Amino acid sequence: MKNLADGVYFTGMLNPNMRVFDVIMRTEYGTSYNSYVVRGTQKTALIEAAHRSFSALFQEELAQALPQGCAPDYLILNHTEPDHSGCVAELLERFPKLEVFATQAASVYLKNITNIPDLRVHVVKDGETLELGGKTLRFLSAPFLHWPDSMFTYLEEDKILFSCDFLGAHYCEPGVLDTHLVYRKAYEDALKNYFDCIFGPFQPWVRKGLAKIAPLDVDMLCPSHGPVLTRGCLLENALAQYTLWSREESAGAKKIPIFYCTAYGNTAALAEAVRGGILRVFPDAQCKIYNIIEHDLDALVALLNGSDAFAVGCLTINRDAVPPIYSLLAHADAINMAKRPAALFASYGWSGEGFANTAARLNSLKCRVFEEQFKVTLVPTAADLAAAADFGERFADSIC
């Protein structure tokens, strides 16, 4: 337990050993499941809870922030993903009078997380306030940051914003406050990684979230992961970075990366030719070719997800597409990939099942898969390369 301001306490759980979050996200700096207690003269609120695996420790920590023998009156859940709500069922067992405040969407999820079908939740409206006695909590709707249920809670008298995942980071240092941070560069890496993985698919909602925060006077921002951010230390930097990372791209040169795998250089040669054809239509396009196994996967994923269109040279080995292709496409931003133009080409030896299997993945992402697939048996001839360039040109024409 750590005192952040008069009557405001950090009761979060540190998890420095976590290395993977939500199956897909690497977390080399661990994380923290932050929660906070706000004590007014009449009522006490707990903001956020913790992962179920920390339930017992969390309850010990919570007890230290409460007056001797007292129970919290309210549980404010800004978001109900189980890293914050996993121990709510046990919390309600211990404090049966605890009144839960959350959004409408959260109230539905929470019933299924706690398996308490008749769980009573006070569904908050945007702008609604809750008086604790000298401490006023204001609830601000902030959907899709990053679930439909998300909201912010603003403590008016102390100018503290509880932002849940927004502006958080999977990062763990014992000092809790940004002013005590030891490894700033590592934290900044974690902040960016968190943004890319959690908020990258929701950038229009990030802009709305930033707009919601802009008129507030915020001295301290309490996220639900990573350090507490304060004005004059790292708060302004985090807001500026989110603004930069979520800005709308102006229409400029098209981004059409070409990804491929190649066993004997044949698909690589086709990739070069396809690129040439695309550049006939879009001479200024950012249209580089990438042999998937020679590049950092995270960097390729960023190129794929930020593209206007893309092409894949889909090798076939043993009647299937190869793992690097699957691996890249497995990381595609499925929320924003619908209707993205995509083209398939390759050299193959026998039957070329890599095409159908790669196309199946692209179709499941709802990409607009170019109706032609360009195939060459083994080593492309000069005529094949010319045809590949024409194929690239027709693909580019199709996305004009």
Q: Considering the complex, what minimum distance in angstroms separates the CB of residue 24 from ligand FEO?
A: 13
Residue closer to ligand FEO, measured from CB, 73 or 81: 81
79 lies in the site for ligand FEO, by CB under 6 A: yes
Residue closer to ligand FEO, measured from CB, 34 or 307: 34
Distance in angstroms (rounded) separating the CA atoms of residues 233 and 177: 10
Which residues, at least 6 apart from 243, have a Cβ–Cβ distance to it below 8 Å? Answer: 210
Residue closer to ligand FEO, measured from CB, 83 or 173: 83
Among the listed residues 84, 212, 254, 340, the single contact to ligand FEO using CB under 6 A: 84
Q: Considering the complex, what minimum distance in angstroms separates the CB of residue 334 from ligand FEO?
A: 17
| Residues between 92 and 151 with contacts to ligand FEO, criterion CB under 6 A | 146
51 lies in the site for ligand FEO, by CB under 6 A: no
Q: Considering the complex, what minimum distance in angstroms separates the CB of residue 21 from ligand FEO?
A: 8
Distances (CA, A) of 363 to 161, 303, 397: 42, 19, 20
Residue closer to ligand FEO, measured from CB, 113 or 281: 113
Residue closer to ligand FEO, measured from CB, 73 or 173: 173
* Burial of residue 143 (number of CB atoms within 10 Å: 0-12, 13-18, 19+): middle
Q: Single out the residue of 212, 213, 215, 210 nearest to residue 242, CA to CA.
A: 210
Distance in angstroms (rounded) separating the CA atoms of residues 346 and 227: 48
Local structure of residue 202 (DSSP, 8 states)? G
Among the listed residues 51, 135, 212, 225, the single contact to ligand FEO using CB under 6 A: 225
48 lies in the site for ligand FEO, by CB under 6 A: no
The token pair at 247 is 């800005």
Range in contact with ligand FEO (rule: CB under 6 A) among 79-87, 238-246, 316-324, 360-368: 79-87
Q: Considering the complex, what minimum distance in angstroms separates the CB of residue 132 from ligand FEO?
A: 25
Q: Single out the residue of 262, 216, 257 nearest to residue 239, CA to CA.
A: 216
Range in contact with ligand FEO (rule: CB under 6 A) among 80-88, 102-110, 301-309, 338-346: 80-88
Distance in angstroms (rounded) separating the CA atoms of residues 399 and 103: 41
Q: How far is CA 254 from the centre of its chain?
A: 25
Quote the longest CA-to-CA distance of the chain.
84
Range in contact with ligand FEO (rule: CB under 6 A) among 12-20, 76-84, 212-220, 244-252: 76-84
By the 8 A CB rule, do 326 and 299 touch? no
81 lies in the site for ligand FEO, by CB under 6 A: yes
Helical packing angle, 323-330 and 297-305, nearest 10°: 50
Helical packing angle, 235-245 and 203-213, nearest 10°: 140
224 lies in the site for ligand FEO, by CB under 6 A: yes
Q: Which residue is nearest to ligand FEO (CB)?
A: 81
Site string for ligand FEO, 144-163 (x = CB under 6 A): --x-----------------
For 3, the 3-state DSSP assignment is: strand
Q: Considering the complex, what minimum distance in angstroms separates the CB of residue 83 from ligand FEO?
A: 4
The token pair at 258 is 């070409």
Footprint of ligand FEO (CB under 6 A): 79, 81, 83-84, 146, 165, 224-225
